[in-house]
Amino acid sequence: MQFQNTLDFARELDEKDALKSYRASFHFPQVDGKDVIYFTGNSLGLQPKITRDYVDEIMTSWKELAVEGHFKAAKPWWDYHERLAAPLARVVGAKTNEISVMNTLTVNLHLLMVSFYRPTAKRFKIICEEKAFPSDQYMLDSQVRFHGLDPKETLVPIKKRNGEHFWRTEDVLEKIAETGDTLALVLIGGVNYYNGQVFDMKAITAAGKAVGAFVGWDLAHAAGNIELELHDWNVDFAAWCSYKYMNSGPGNASGVFIHQRHLNKTDIPRFEGWWGTKKETRFLMKPNFEPIDTADAWQLSNPPILSLAPYLASLEMFDKVGMKALVEKRDKIVAYLEFVLQEIDKEVESSFEIITPESRGCQLSVFLHGEGKPLFEYLMKHGVITDWREPNVIRLAPAPFYCSFEDMYRFGQILKDGILG
């Protein structure tokens, strides 16, 4: 398709958009009485309008049933989390029994490391990406120190080549082979938070397994953004937050994937709690832990139902639309955004450099050469909600559920006005 940087063309694309009706299903903040152009679904997704109904249902059950809501609510609380497993499995390419929802992302990564980071005198190293999201860096560093090891000798960061803004798959595979039988774990962000790059998870997982290592993925920027096949790729474990592309609300619950080959084991290292023991005997208060034969065995405490309600509301929408349709629109709207940026670049003296490679999801990270934070502040003041990263990068993530092609065009015009003054 030959794109055009015109309002009429953008509106034409919106008319043909199979997902256009979903925009009206979300609440938008407003600036000067108008809906904002929202580019930060990679940090916090917009609120679906159906969310309130799901939360109010819990509040009503609590009001009218109190403790009996655990068993007598319309959606009983004691198994509420199980309702999320099947739709989440379809989002991440898993079997239902491989999915659970619990805690928050970094908490879950710590818990999963108990099971999947088992260093020995020979096999103890961890491969990660250079300058991972800080929380992952802190988590990895503290886990290594917990085992009495030196992070400088244990962590093996994959670096970008000089002068490049992205990682090369061949460099990751080469480092895995080089580390060989000293490698205990590969743990990388499936989509890098800074440049938006999608890693070749299938190839990297296969390489890690080939040398005898466990392989896990932080899918914070991947879940609900890209197509995943965690089970078929033979991934050992993964975890993700739910508040970015999955629109579940600030700081909300985390999903986890644990490959079925690790399930129903009593000898696997694991921190254990009441809610991970078999439902059939849970209320007998037995002294010995009997793991549920699903990923729920990694649960510790009863789930936070008020947090799960918004997640379930959003997953209902994901289940209706499906990842294939979301990815199809994602690719088209990101391509149009890239085109608009290139067209505006021709009209201004500044120079834009897109540092996101072709292997990408919903995000474009853009160097604004010759511009500084005042341009970002101009965009925000004029109703473009985007994200700033030092030294001069803005991250643009047009989530396909609620962003329109007209948004992309209007953003280009605001951006041009902000540069030309």
pLDDT tens digits for range 357-375: 999 999 999 998 878 888 9
Return the ∠ at Cα 251 (arms to 301 and 404), rounded to 5°.
135
What is the percent of the chain with per-residue pLDDT over 70, rounded to a whole number? 100
What pLDDT score does 194 carry?
94
Cis-peptide into 391, omega within 30 deg? yes
Q: Tell me the pLDDT band of 1, cut-offs 50, 70 and 90.
A: confident
Tell me the whole-structure pTM to 2 decimals: 0.96
Q: CB neighbours of 252 closer than 8 A, spacing ≥ 6?
A: 104, 241, 242, 243, 307, 310, 311
Instruction: Identify the pLDDT of residue 391.
Output: 81
| Polymer length in residues for the chain | 421
Across the chain, mean pLDDT equals 96
The DSSP output letter for 268 is S
Q: Do domains 7-48+322-420 and 53-321 have the same CATH topology?
A: no
Residue 389's pLDDT is: 85
Query: Which tens digit of pLDDT belongs to each residue from 202-234?
Result: 999 999 999 999 999 999 999 999 999 999 999
What does the angle CA 114 – CA 81 – CA 317 come to, to the nearest 5 degrees?
A: 115
Q: What is the pLDDT of residues 61-82, one digit of tens each?
A: 999 999 999 999 999 999 999 9
Confidence of residue 259 (pLDDT cuts 50, 70, 90): very high
Q: What is the pLDDT of residue 370?
A: 75
Per-residue pLDDT, 44:
98
Q: What are phi and psi of 213, to 5 degrees?
A: -95, 155
Domain 53-321 belongs in CATH node 3.40.640.10:
yes
Q: Give residue 300's pLDDT band: very low, low, confident or very high (50, 70, 90).
A: very high
DSSP state of 220: T
What band does 349 get if pLDDT is binned at 50, 70 and 90? confident
pLDDT at 197: 97
Q: Render pLDDT for 116-159 as a digit per residue (tens, 0 to 9).
A: 999 999 999 999 999 999 999 999 999 999 999 999 999 999 99
Positions of E strands within 207-345:
214-218, 237-240, 254-258
Q: Which of 145, 80, 134 is nearest to 106 (CA)?
A: 134
Quick one: pLDDT at residue 352? 86
The CATH H-level superfamily of 7-48+322-420 is Aspartate Aminotransferase, domain 1 (3.90.1150.10)
- Residue 393 belongs to what H/E stretch? strand 393-396
Mean pLDDT for the stretch of residues 301-324: 97
Task: Give the confidence band of 18 by pLDDT, cuts at 50, 70, 90.
Answer: very high
Tokens standing for 114? 């108990």
pLDDT tier at 192 (50, 70, 90 boundaries)? very high
Model confidence at 317, in pLDDT bands (50, 70, 90)?
Answer: very high
pLDDT higher than threshold 90 for residue 249: yes
Instruction: Kindly state the average pLDDT of the residues 279-285.
Output: 91
Q: Mean pLDDT throughout 301-309?
A: 96
The predicted structure's pLDDT at residue 369:
82
Q: Output the six-digit token pair for 334.
A: 């990101």
Q: What is the pLDDT at residue 390? A: 81
Tokens of 123: 């096999």
More confident residue, 391 or 160: 160
Among candidate residues 212, 159, 156, the one with its CA nearest the CA of residue 184: 212
* Confidence band for 169, pLDDT divided at 50, 70 and 90: very high
Do 236 and 259 contact (CB within 8 A), yes or no? yes
Comparing CA positions, the residue from 198, 155, 223 lying closest to residue 365 is 198
Whole-number pLDDT of residue 325: 98
Give the start-to-end residue ranges of the domains of the chain. 7-48+322-420, 53-321
Greatest alpha-carbon span in the chain:
72
102 three-state secondary structure: strand
- Region at 93 (left for phi over 0; alpha for psi -120 to 50; beta for the rest): left
For the segment 241-247, the average pLDDT, to the nearest whole number, is 97
CB–CB of 227/360 below 8 Å? no
Q: Which of 336, 133, 355, 408 lies closest to 244 in space, CA to CA? A: 133
Whose CA is closest to 189, among 50, 4, 363?
363
Residue 265 has pLDDT above 90, yes or no: no
Number of neighbours of residue 286 by Cβ within 10 angstroms = 11
